[in-house]
Amino acid sequence: MKNLKQTLLACLTSLSLTTSLPVMAQKANLGLFEGHGDIGAVLKPGSAAYNPQTRTYDLSGSGYNVWFDHDEFHFMWKRMKGDFILYTRAALVGKGVDPHRKVGWMVRTSLDGKSPHINAVEHGDGLTSLQFRRTEGANTEEVKAKLTGADVIQLERKGNTYTMRVAKFGEPFVTEQVTDLPLGDEVYVGLFIGSHNKDVLERGVFRDVRISVPAFEGLVPYKDYLGSNLEILDIASGNRQVIFNSPKSLQAPNWTPDGKTLLYNSDGLMYTFNLASRKPSILNTGDVKNNNNDHVLSFDGKMLGLSSGVKELGGSIIYTVPAKGGSPKQITPQGPSYLHGWSPDKKTLVFTASRNNEYDIYTVPAAGGPELRITDAKGLDDGPEYTPDGKYIYFNSARTGTMQIYRMKADGSEQQAITNGEFNDWFPHISPDGKWLLFISFLKEEVKADDHPFYKHVYLRMLPISGTGQPKVLAYIYGGQGTINTPSWSPDSKRVAFISNSAETALSPVEK
């Protein structure tokens, strides 16, 4: 009897393991999302998958349309409450059958085919629009974008207001908005594809998918902080990769010349981040423990310049310390002084300082000594950085009423504007090969010229160092202060490290 019981138990255990396999198979890695499935009575079932190697989402779907009083399409979703920002670079695969096949972001009250919803969508023929159904079973309405052929799609919710921002990659956003659309606090959020033909499966691929939770109403800057994603951007492709995230505020990553380590500040301390192990470690900076995001490595990577707040001395004070850590040496006698660059020969530091209630750019010997003021225009001058040959300093200035990028010779002579566009441009960073400028751009409707706050819609843009041509957008980011305050190019000039922000960093998980 005992042997029979053991045999039966073994059989049941085996059966349990066997029957559980299909269930496990259904729990595939869906990246940011919880589930996927066909919406409505589709004729041909769709599919969805996440590829962790390429960090892309691949969807196929059929369905007559997402239109009129009901929808048929394939949806990859997660449930969310509150406000959010959805971002992706989307592309339909192949020539397709119907010109109105579509891919994009969808927000729905339910998974029923007649559910109220809103979607930001790119069609096969290039039509880009914001489509929405206000109530269950109502006809779909549409706001067409002034842009066609968008491949960058962002959809943001703030209360009952939905804002679509779309672009052809490399160009600024074009914006449309729908207000007073109550879809409920908890909604289904996700990527979708529809073929606009019940007999056809179409395919779409989504990359650089990001879901961010923005700052809450009433957030107090420099007291309340959102979480941070440490990202790496590939210059050639524009592809982004989240390599680390934290519920704390991480700011201003610098890249060491050997390409193995990043440095950033958080909670007043300096951290090194090993790119191989993806592990941070505190860098010893002695008693200097109120460091801000204006820290810079010397060109040879052997010394680190710090800016750390000292209330008794008037604010931020500049120090230098060996890049491997140690006891910092005080350089500036008074604050506020914010370091932004070393000269290539390590003999000079260039920084922004307020003296007599006017922010200008100064130089000072790296070993300590008298300050030399090299700009005197009215308005904020900030973000100075030497070119790799040491001949020029690039900086940003609000002297004309908007913040633009300028260039001057290393002695402060021949100051001239490099940008003169529709944004407030900050913090020019020169690539190690001396060919490119990378800078962050704030929207004039969101930010004053002389401010660079946290938690705004910003662009990372690039321009030839000569200043010729139009800047190219490399990244569309929710960030701002701390995103890219100081140099963060990789030593081979092929990548850049930066910070994006979200109240829930788990929505941008670390990517392999």
Q: Per-residue confidence of the chain (512 residues) as pLDDT tens digits?
A: 434 334 333 433 333 332 222 222 345 799 999 999 999 999 999 999 999 999 999 999 999 999 999 999 999 999 999 999 999 999 999 999 999 999 999 999 999 999 999 999 999 999 999 999 999 999 999 999 999 999 999 999 999 999 999 999 999 999 999 999 999 999 999 999 999 999 999 999 999 999 999 999 999 999 999 999 999 999 999 999 999 999 999 999 999 999 999 999 999 999 999 999 999 999 999 999 999 999 999 999 999 999 999 999 999 999 999 999 999 999 999 999 999 999 999 999 999 999 989 999 999 999 999 999 999 999 999 999 999 999 999 999 999 999 999 999 999 999 999 999 899 999 999 999 999 999 999 999 999 999 999 999 999 999 999 999 999 999 999 999 999 999 999 999 999 999 999 999 878 889 87
Residue with tokens 């879901």: 211
According to the model, what pLDDT value does residue 509 have? 82
Residue with tokens 């053991």: 6
Break the chain into its structural domains and give their ranges: 35-212, 227-507
Class of domain 35-212: mainly beta
According to the model, what pLDDT value does residue 15 have? 32
Cβ atoms within 10 Å of 84's Cβ, excluding its own: 21
* Nearest Cα to Cα of residue 508 among 125, 210, 223, 239: 210
The answer to whether 468 and 493 are in contact (CB under 8 A) is: no
Say how many residues make up the chain: 512
- Whole-number Å distance between alpha carbons of 148 and 460: 23
Nearest 5°: the CA angle 92, 203, 77 is 100
- Whole-number Å distance between alpha carbons of 321 and 386: 20
3-state SS, one letter per residue, for 291-320: ECCCCEECCCCCEEEEEEEEHHHCEEEEEE
According to the model, what pLDDT value does residue 11 have? 38
According to the model, what pLDDT value does residue 27 have? 54
According to the model, what pLDDT value does residue 2 have? 39
According to the model, what pLDDT value does residue 24 have? 29
DSSP character at residue 489:
B
Residues 6+ apart with CB under 8 A from 230: 242, 243, 244, 245, 246, 250, 253, 262, 264, 273, 497, 499
CA 36 to chain centre: 26
The answer to whether 434 and 443 are in contact (CB under 8 A) is: no
The answer to whether 74 and 39 are in contact (CB under 8 A) is: yes
DSSP character at residue 19:
H
Fold category of 227-507 in CATH:
Neuraminidase (2.120.10)
Question: Six-digit token pair at 489?
Answer: 């190019």
According to the model, what pLDDT value does residue 512 have? 75
The answer to whether 87 and 67 are in contact (CB under 8 A) is: no
* Nearest Cα to Cα of residue 413 among 345, 361, 352: 361
